Chains A and B, each alone.
Chain A
Amino acid sequence: MSAQKDSCISSLIFLLFCACSIPRSGSASLQQEPSPQHYFSGLEAGRASLAFFTPSVSPGGQPFLEQIESSAEALQDYGISVVKVDCPKEDLSRYCGKENALRKAFLFRGSRLIREFPTDALFDVNSIVANVLFALLFNEVKYIETLADFENIENVLKGKSNMVFAYVPATGTAEHRAVMEAAFVYGTIHQFVLTTEAALLKATSPEDPDVSSAWLLFCHCQRATEPAQPCRRTALAQPLTLLNIHRHLKLMGAPLVTEVAEDPEKISTVHLQLGLPLVFILSQKETYEADRRTAEFVAWQLLGKAGVALLSRDLVDLNVLHRSNIALKTPDEGMPIQYLVLEDTDEVITLVEDKNKVKQIQEDEQEEEEDEDEKESNNQDIQDDQVVEAVSRDKKRELPLEQILVLTEENFHSSLSEAAQTVVLFYASWEAVSLAVLRSYSEVAAHLKGTPGVLLSRVNCWDWTGLCSQENVTQFPTLRIYKEGQQSVTYGGMWGTEELSSFILLSQVSCPLKLATMDEAEGYLRGEFPSELSSHHHTSLLGVFSTATSEAREAFEEAGNILSGHVRMGMYFEDDALALSQKYSVSPPALLLARSGGRSVEGIALSKHSVQDMVQMIRYELLDVFPEITVPNLPQYLQLRKPFLILFSAGDISQMESKEMLKLAKRRPQQEFVACWLNLKKTPVGHGILRTYFPTTPSLPVLLWVKLQAGGQVFKFPSEQPITEVNILSWLEKLQAGLEIPSSTLSEEDWKPPLPAYDFLQMMEHSMAELSPQPRDTPAEQPPNSPRGDTATQEEPSQESRAEEVGSPGRDLRGTAPRLAARDKQGKRHSEL
């Protein structure tokens, strides 16, 4: 937004400088002349100056002198110098001698007097600038009093040029000044007409106008080639300021409809530069004429609000829906172009106006946000880390940690040797994540209380830093299981109570577990053996190997080490292994997968024998075909890096939906997507997802296609269609063909720092002057306090002022923008007075 404003301002400045090519004298804004003779002898022909005469022995500061002095700078921009002429005591000439002349200011062009101003007409900077310019632009700006005058001028201008008509409630106001300043720049291009008559305002404005506020109309008389044709009029909707008038005139001057034959992404017009949207009418060769008329019609409606461009689809290869007929490009950078299918022109207009409204609202919000930002920058010290805050809010609660043995440097090794299996949580007592896990760990302890052979313990690495570094614990928290005579196993799963308990339980039995008899193997698949795990209802995995397949068996054992604690793995390699596997119609080496308590056993032949492949394959096989997505299991499916076809359901999904979805999921063994469902009752955070996708929660169940990776589009399955395999497939096909419009897109935003940090460097520099004279790039030979360094800093501002003096149109304009802004502000302040 501010960038647009900048470009706007700088282009305005550019114009200003083009217009006033008159060289400016001196940098001091107010000139002083010792005597009238001196003043008149120095006047250049054609150069305007505003002079006022004061007795050299001043009878005390006249109030208007201050105003004149402050307007000097503003007038200088228009090549008008402001001169204070001292009257020597003895001087009794025309300007100095008379008493009343001292209460007046005189405007000269060259040495010719143009106008005398009584000082009460020059009450502030606005009035001085407005009146002086008004006097100078006598020919360019016509002052009218009746509607007849207005119509006369219109008729004269028809077919020749356009008219800018302004109503100001009074002369000498800020609005008057703005109009005059605009006239100074545009006076040669458009005919400026000014009035203070309320009757004229009422006659030209459509509704009941407010006579106390200024009003500006642009009359397109140049286009009215026939005398009978009226001039179209476009009013300025914003308040009358120089910036707004300039913007308005620029927009009016732009071509009504731009014809483009280029990628809309690359197009930029004056509208976009001024922060207005650009509407593209997508045209085809066959309908070109009609489209052009539509475009012109729309353009007149949107004049001043948006630009209209006519884009021939035949010339540009657009990768959009064929049905689309309108495209909307907004000035916000990074916003993609929207392609739409609209039915009539009203829709286009509402679209733009709504957009503007939305933008207005957004701007308001932004302002609010900015306010909040300001507030928030004071809120830097307010905790915004949910984990840290939650833990510190919970710190007064005493944790039930009696079940958990405290290990120290002294007793660590002795304790490990005492129990067959020791679970150790390494944590730091000051670290929030550690403490959060410690809470779950205490729940695990309560859960597993009385389980034989399990010893839970903890080491506070803040107390025993040596022990932790000895045990190579570099991150907090770390959970390890130490078993006598074996390498310790580090936990790498979710830090939830359930997951931790399951890991500890599964780690009790070796992985893979060697099964000795056929009975054991069958019991294992039913989930009854070993008894320690009978309470554990997870998929069991049994590797069956003939004595000949030792290579596969070794890989399987190695995979077991890696998956230890996460997967229930058994293996069987007795003589009758063949018989066991053939029961499930595979031959060894093979995997038997018993899901949900052995009700279904699946046989998979093992073809790959590398450990990595086997681990990957086991992980893959353990995934469900049509899973219910939950917070803990999502990462497993995320790793497949595929789009999600996800059914959001208020509770359990119905039999029918489940059956259809399952059919779909099973269609091909290697699906390109993850078919899954989400139970909003069990995973309430799903509401948050839906709320982000849709402005209103759609009726449930709702089936969505979410491209989590590339593009991040979200598509919604039409709610009126029943969820059946056939419907979904045809929808997916349409979707793939690009015939569907996404309901939403996942935010692409980066995760930036939520709030700024304290800028100590700046604070230090402010307070300690000795820091600043040490820029990084001082040449080595030059001692830091050398005089050269000093002159360099002095040189800078003088260069700047020189640049301003030059004032040629080619120079960098950016530097002057703040100056204009500053003056604008000043103007505002004066008008408020």
Chain B
Amino acid sequence: LGLALYASSLCAMSGATFLYHDYCVIGAGPAGLQAAYFLQQAGRDYVVFERSHAPGSFFALYPRHRKLISINKQYTGKSNSEFNLRHDWNSLLSHDRRLLFRRYSRDFFPSADTMVRYLEDFASLLKLQIQYNTAIIHVTLEKNEQAWNGHYFILTDQDRKNYKCSSLLVAAGTWVPNVVNFPGSEYVEGYETVSINPEDFAGQTVLILGRGNSAFETAENILGVTNFIHMVSRSRVRLSWATHYVGDLRAINNGLLDTYQLKSLDGLLEGDLEDLAIVKDKKGKLHITLRFYLENRNISAGIDSITLPQDELDNFATRAPYDRVIRCLGWKFDFSIYNRSLRMMPGKGNIKKYPQIKPSYESRGTRGLFVLGTASHSVDFRKSAGGFIHGFRYTTRAVHRLLENRHHGVPWPSTVYPITQLTNSIIKRVNEASGLYQMFSVLADIILLRENATAFEYLEEYPVGVLAELEMQTGRKAHNGLFVIIMEYGRNFSGADKDVFYYNRAVGEAQHAWQSNFLHPVIYYYKRLPTEREMRLRPPEWPLPQPDAIHHIVEDFLTDWTAPNAHILPLRRFLENCLGTDLRNFFAESCFLFAFTHQKLPPSCQQGYVRMQGLVGSQELRHHAVQAGLLQDYTHMDFLGDRPPDSHHGSQEQLRDHGIPVRPLQHLVNAKDE
């Protein structure tokens, strides 16, 4: 078939009737729509291919029980739209405030139907270019030196129609169900088709294969009507509140854990599904046995001749027969449509369901092919949120920015600030930025210092895995050192077997901030951009190579990092010591004094007061500063006396008044007058 397809596409090529677009996007799911939005905003030539008649076809079927487990928080007590996105896991990014998910549903865990409706609105309100009912069944390359990447992508749809694109964005998701083959697997029902009516399970004994959210969701639905449910999978249960990974078992689905641990008949088992075998007895009951027993037997001899484990081990756990066995093993990426020349290879180990991509989301096999959305989760599988809407909406934006720089000479958006705004710009972002928060340890804000550290450039949400390529990928220069701002959990805090509720799990003191367990901002300082080798050799568990200096902002119960003493002050000290300068703010009066007593001024005076933007400060404030010993009050000076007022002694030390040394020689010269 492959050959035939290849031949036919060759034919079509010679016919040279291609529909050309700069960008082709496969799939109009959340990631495809998100990519389309950014392409549309940038005025790019693009098209989205969707095999269904409407966007989000996956959500039209899944989850089968229709309850999304991504939270839709109505209220946060804040009006900051960026901050609120941290707790809105369903909305896509757009400028249109109508397209916020909370306007579509009031449910904390909304229905999948709402998601379908939302995606339809997103596509239509934003007038995205989507070609529905177009299933791309083959993708191949056409070499061409003129092309952006040295080749064009040729896409063929179900009607043998061909499309030619310079850049291919694969947002096809993972939709091919994972299937295991073992003797008797024909008796297994799939999650895709199993009944969702609990009545159908009344009085039945059910075995569920798999231990993900779909398995538990299925169990949750029938928990009340079955005799009991057993659940079997290779690995132990991974609770998302212990692993801090949203893809693990969410508390909303974990009713079966309750009934298992309270000995209410339901139960969990560990075992490799590959070793499993199912035999059906004459009554239609399903018995669990091991492949091992079957290999030596003649299966055709019938059930009676087959050894069951309980024959040898009479207390074998799953010796009770089951009425139904349901497979809930998740999905994988559809590798079948890509020509071999594209080298779309599955990942290794636990990421084999995803195609191999670089941290820049570009395919390892083909330049110009980017994988977006769920299928791109190999970058941060079991770590961050890149496989979910609230994560990949940001990584998609990052990919778009990389492409804008690569193909259109639009450098990564950045803002240049004077150095006095350094602490502020970091505090602002760590408090509200949603991309940093959701895609923790994957996306990072980058601060590029300008010469002499008088100004800096702020880049938002850059994929940290390609930090070494920053200059090439963003079109910005990093000659004078940089800060990388990311969010991290404590290194040994999360894990399936970790107790995340132990006493003193939270750190409160700024000086112990590096031991913070919960998500908190971390700032890495590099005097120069790390090289690719350093990135490769970074310590295990580190998102980045060892920096020249590091700062942790202590975790906060409210995730509000604006406390002047616990959060901002240590950050300022860190920045000051990295830059070797004094970043304190000064009132105009202090700057006035410095202007007359120092040849150099601190940055706050240099960039504020001297440019006629000094901070005069109200009477009360200056009074407070005097009381704090940080400002000297000269109003009550004794005009003739020269005694140093002791009360102000402390203030001078605090301010470190860089006083001019007294020159006693002056008296020598003046006094002697022969």
Per-position binary interface string of chain A over residues 347-362, scored 1 when its CB falls under 8 Å from any chain B CB and 0 otherwise = 1000100100010000
Are A751 and B602 CB-contacts (below 8 A) given A372-B653, A390-B625, A760-B550? yes
Query: What residues of chain A lie closer than 8 Å to B674, measured between beta carbons?
Result: 343
Are A387 and B573 CB-contacts (below 8 A) given A465-B81, A635-B612, A696-B642? no
Chain B: which residue is nearest A692 at the CB level?
A: B597
Shortest Cβ gap from B409 to chain A (Å): 23
Query: What residues of chain B lie closer than 8 Å to A771, measured between beta carbons?
Result: 539, 546
Highest count of chain B CB atoms <10 Å: which of A383, A390, A463, A706: A390
B625-667 interface (Cβ within 8 A of A): 625, 627-628, 630-635, 637, 639-642, 644, 653-660, 662-666
B106-128 interface (Cβ within 8 A of A): none
Cβ contact within 8 Å between B634 and A685: yes
Residue B615 CB within 8 A of the other chain = yes
| Cβ-defined partner of A708 (8 Å) among B552, B586, B596 | B596
Cβ contact within 8 Å between A631 and B592: yes
Cβ contact within 8 Å between A745 and B660: yes
Per-position binary interface string of chain B over residues 585-621, scored 1 when its CB falls under 8 Å from any chain A CB and 0 otherwise = 1111110110111111111000001111111111011
Shortest Cβ gap from A503 to chain B (Å): 12
Count of A interface residues, CB-CB < 8 Å: 110
Cβ contact within 8 Å between B616 and A343: no
Residue A499 CB within 8 A of the other chain = yes
Shortest Cβ gap from B531 to chain A (Å): 9
Residue A208 CB within 8 A of the other chain = no
Per-position binary interface string of chain A over residues 693-730, scored 1 when its CB falls under 8 Å from any chain B CB and 0 otherwise = 10111011000001011001000000000000000000
Which of A291-299, A433-441, A653-661 forms contacts with chain B? A433-441
Are A689 and B597 CB-contacts (below 8 A) given A383-B564, A492-B612, A770-B539? yes
Per-position binary interface string of chain B over residues 416-432, scored 1 when its CB falls under 8 Å from any chain A CB and 0 otherwise = 01100100100110011
A466-483 interface (Cβ within 8 A of B): 466, 474-476
B414-453 interface (Cβ within 8 A of A): 415, 417-418, 421, 424, 427-428, 431-432
Cβ contact within 8 Å between B624 and A390: yes
Residue B17 CB within 8 A of the other chain = no
Are A744 and B663 CB-contacts (below 8 A) given A689-B597, A753-B576, A757-B573? yes
Cβ contact within 8 Å between B628 and A428: no
Cβ contact within 8 Å between A700 and B639: yes
Are A695 and B662 CB-contacts (below 8 A) given A436-B621, A497-B616? yes
Cβ contact within 8 Å between B551 and A499: no
Query: What residues of chain B lie closer than 8 Å to A428, measured between beta carbons?
Result: 424, 428
Cβ contact within 8 Å between B615 and A433: yes
Query: What residues of chain A lie closer than 8 Å to B421, measured between beta carbons?
Result: 474-475
Question: Total A-B pairs in contact (CB under 8 Å)?
Answer: 321
Are A463 and B424 CB-contacts (below 8 A) given A436-B617, A688-B632, A757-B576? no
A761 to B545, CA, bound (A): 12
Residue A374 CB within 8 A of the other chain = no
Highest count of chain A CB atoms <10 Å: which of B577, B580, B631, B635: B577
A741-778 interface (Cβ within 8 A of B): 741, 743-761, 763-764, 768, 770-771, 774, 776, 778
A636 to B614, CA, bound (A): 12
A817 to B348, CA, bound (A): 56
Are A744 and B660 CB-contacts (below 8 A) given A638-B610, A708-B595? yes
A25 to B659, CA, bound (A): 56
Cβ contact within 8 Å between B668 and A342: yes
Query: What residues of chain A lie closer than 8 Å to B596, measured between beta carbons?
Result: 689, 692, 706, 708, 746
Which of A214-222, A229-237, A392-400 forms contacts with chain B? A392-400
Cβ contact within 8 Å between A495 and B592: no
Chain B: which residue is nearest A369 at the CB level?
A: B653
Chain A: which residue is nearest B522 at the CB level?
A: A760
Per-position binary interface string of chain A over residues 378-409, scored 1 when its CB falls under 8 Å from any chain B CB and 0 otherwise = 00110111111111111001000000000011
Cβ contact within 8 Å between A632 and B574: no
Shortest Cβ gap from A529 to chain B (Å): 28
Are A757 and B574 CB-contacts (below 8 A) given A386-B585, A390-B622, A475-B421? yes
Query: What residues of chain B lie closer than 8 Å to A760, measured between beta carbons?
Result: 513-514, 550-552
A656 to B577, CA, bound (A): 52
Chain A: which residue is nearest B637 at the CB level?
A: A687
B89-142 interface (Cβ within 8 A of A): none
Cβ contact within 8 Å between B576 and A688: no
A390 to B592, CA, bound (A): 18
Highest count of chain A CB atoms <10 Å: which of B577, B633, B660, B663: B660
Are A758 and B510 CB-contacts (below 8 A) given A437-B615, A440-B617, A636-B612? yes
Cβ contact within 8 Å between A393 and B627: yes
Query: What residues of chain A lie closer than 8 Å to B428, measured between beta carbons?
Result: 428, 462, 465
| Cβ-defined partner of B549 (8 Å) among A639, A743, A761, A770 | A761
Query: What residues of chain A lie closer than 8 Å to B660, measured between beta carbons?
Result: 692-693, 744-747
Cβ contact within 8 Å between A443 and B618: yes
Chain B: which residue is nearest A437 at the CB level?
A: B615
Shortest Cβ gap from A423 to chain B (Å): 17
Shortest Cβ gap from B93 to chain A (Å): 12
Residue B669 CB within 8 A of the other chain = yes
Are A389 and B625 CB-contacts (below 8 A) given A351-B665, A494-B614, A771-B539? yes
Cβ contact within 8 Å between B634 and A381: no
Are A494 and B613 CB-contacts (below 8 A) given A436-B618, A747-B660? yes
Residue B82 CB within 8 A of the other chain = yes
Shortest Cβ gap from A432 to chain B (Å): 6
Shortest Cβ gap from B553 to chain A (Å): 11
A342 to B369, CA, bound (A): 83
Shortest Cβ gap from B94 to chain A (Å): 12
Shortest Cβ gap from A330 to chain B (Å): 11
Chain B: which residue is nearest A718 at the CB level?
A: B670
Residue B469 CB within 8 A of the other chain = no
Are A387 and B615 CB-contacts (below 8 A) given A753-B580, A754-B656? yes
Residue A496 CB within 8 A of the other chain = yes
A430 to B614, CA, bound (A): 20
Cβ contact within 8 Å between B665 and A340: yes
A176-221 interface (Cβ within 8 A of B): none
Cβ contact within 8 Å between A385 and B585: yes
Residue A431 CB within 8 A of the other chain = yes
Residue A684 CB within 8 A of the other chain = yes
Cβ contact within 8 Å between A689 and B593: yes
Chain B: which residue is nearest A378 at the CB level?
A: B511
Residue A579 CB within 8 A of the other chain = no
Query: What residues of chain A lie closer than 8 Å to B282, measured between beta carbons?
Result: none
Query: What residues of chain A lie closer than 8 Å to B537, measured between beta carbons?
Result: 774, 778, 780, 784
Cβ contact within 8 Å between A387 and B581: no
Shortest Cβ gap from A726 to chain B (Å): 23
A358 to B665, CA, bound (A): 12
Residue A650 CB within 8 A of the other chain = yes
Query: What residues of chain A lie closer than 8 Å to B624, measured between beta carbons?
Result: 389-391, 393-394
Residue B263 CB within 8 A of the other chain = no
A761 to B566, CA, bound (A): 19
A372 to B653, CA, bound (A): 9
Are A338 and B630 CB-contacts (below 8 A) given A465-B82, A763-B514? no
Residue B568 CB within 8 A of the other chain = yes
Are A341 and B585 CB-contacts (below 8 A) given A383-B564, A463-B79? no
Cβ contact within 8 Å between B573 and A756: yes
B68-94 interface (Cβ within 8 A of A): 78-83
A148 to B538, CA, bound (A): 78
Residue A464 CB within 8 A of the other chain = yes
Cβ contact within 8 Å between A494 and B549: no
A-B residue pairs in contact (CB < 8 Å), sample of 18? A383-B564, A430-B431, A433-B615, A463-B78, A463-B79, A494-B612, A634-B592, A684-B635, A697-B642, A743-B663, A746-B596, A751-B601, A753-B580, A753-B581, A753-B583, A758-B551, A770-B539, A780-B537
Can you list the 4 inter-chain pairs with the closest CB atoms, starting with the nearest? A496-B616, A430-B562, A753-B576, A684-B634
For the A-B complex with A358-B664, A385-B569 known, give 10 more contacts whose Cβ atoms are closer than 8 Å: A387-B586, A394-B620, A439-B618, A463-B78, A474-B417, A687-B634, A689-B596, A747-B659, A757-B570, A774-B537
